[in-house]
Amino acid sequence: MDTIFGEIELLRDDMVASLGRICAIPAISPHNGGDGEEAKAKEIEKLISELGLGAVEWQRVSDAKSPTGNRPSLFLEVKGTLPRRLCILSHMDIVPEGDRSFWSLDPYKPVTRGSRLYGRGVSDNGMAIISSLYALYALKKLNITPTYTVCLVFLSDEELGSSFGVKPLLERGLFREDDLVIAPDSGNDRGYFIEIAEKSMLRMEFTVTGKQAHAAHPNTGLNACRAANLFSVELDEALHMAFQEKDTLFDPPVSTFEPTRRFANVPNMNTIPGKERFGFDCRVLPSVPLKDVLAVVERVKDEVSRRSGAVIEMEVKGDNAAPPTSEDSDVSRLLLSSIKKVLNVKPVFGGIGGGTFAAFFRRKGIPAVVWQQEPEGTAHQPDEYTEIEYIVNNAKVFAAMMSEN
């Protein structure tokens, strides 16, 4: 194993360059104002060809909003000594950069500063793409056949729910019940945390309708902004009051109810808005039924509507928590053993707010784990970065999983 790890160390600069190369290509969902993953997928395929790792299989899912009419995912499979597959799943899509005034650099011109590489997507989830590719490349350079057949999958649409990514690909039967599945999409700085469980997810979008009017004559209208503010605050308080259960498997150990997105209303200051839209993102402990959460929402919605006179409508998207992956599953034990070989840490199993690819596999009865060594609190933030050392360490862990003996 030391020979493999030494080879990966020699590839450090190549990995950094390749990560910067793919992250220079925005891959923002067309449902979030971008052009999708096509250009990045082609660049990844080109990189795979340059590394001599074989041909990729393209899987496309129709999406009318995409400039190409579809969303691509890539499969790269390399035969091992055993037919059983180790599947490492990464996603190509990224979130938008947000307000650029908060960035100290161009999000799409990745740059190295000291021990870090900065740029949108370098941590979430470009590092996983590059680390998994170069783990396989190191084995190839050393003429080592992987123990498991390695299946690297680079997917679309993770950030907006996977409706054009892993969900339909699972339905196509592209994965097997005995696959060893890891999604490198959550972790911490020391690399000891292995995610085996996720909370239920509930996303609610509210539309509050009043009556538009001139701000100088508020009595002639019904201020949707005021009603929305009232509703948001009261809903926030009611949900936190109603659901105070704790489960120490998770971090944080409670259900979370966060007001998040606020949509633009009127373009000028002197108009009272007649319509207001905003959203809540809720990560709910598995012990809390989502129907109970929605009952509280309905109660507060009806009460605020009655008091304010505004009409409040809502759209709900939710998924109940998937069954957790057992700590004794083959993939859990394989990952734990590989982490111990690379990092001087004692791995810990736990749960997160979700959601990742793993939940979709767990619902299909396929155990899946989530892990990578990553900077905490940088994903989706301005000046997103990763430590170069983490890219190397992740590649070593993946190589150890591929070549278990």
Q: What is the mean pLDDT of each run of 10 residues along the chain (405 residues)?
A: 97 98 98 97 98 98 98 98 98 96 97 98 97 98 98 97 96 97 95 97 97 97 98 98 97 96 95 98 96 98 98 95 96 98 95 90 97 93 98 98 87
Looking at 43, 124, 158, 159, which residue is catalytic?
A: 158
Contact 174, 362 (CB under 8 A): no
Could you count the other beta carbons within 10 Å of the beta carbon of residue 289? 12
Q: Supply the CATH classification number for the domain 2-198+322-402.
A: 3.40.630.10
Domain ranges for the chain, please list them: 2-198+322-402, 200-319
* Alpha helices (H) in 187-248, listed in sequence order: 224-242
Residue for token pair 């057949």: 149
Q: Which of 116, 135, 129 is nearest to 185 (CA)?
A: 129
Q: Which of 364, 365, 329, 366 is nearest to 349 (CA)?
A: 329
Whether residue 298 lies in the annotated active site: no
Q: In the prediction, which pLDDT does 377 show?
A: 84
Q: Supply the CATH classification number for the domain 200-319.
A: 3.30.70.360
Whether residue 63 lies in the annotated active site: no
Eight-state DSSP code of residue 56: P
Q: In the prediction, which pLDDT does 355 show?
A: 80
Q: Which of 197, 199, 87 is nearest to 136 (CA)?
A: 87
Q: In the prediction, which pLDDT does 404 show?
A: 81
Looking at 93, 185, 319, 384, which residue is catalytic?
A: 93
Q: In the prediction, which pLDDT does 354 show?
A: 73
Residue for token pair 């809720």: 282
Q: Which of 176, 172, 106, 112 is nearest to 367 (CA)?
A: 176
Length of the chain: 405
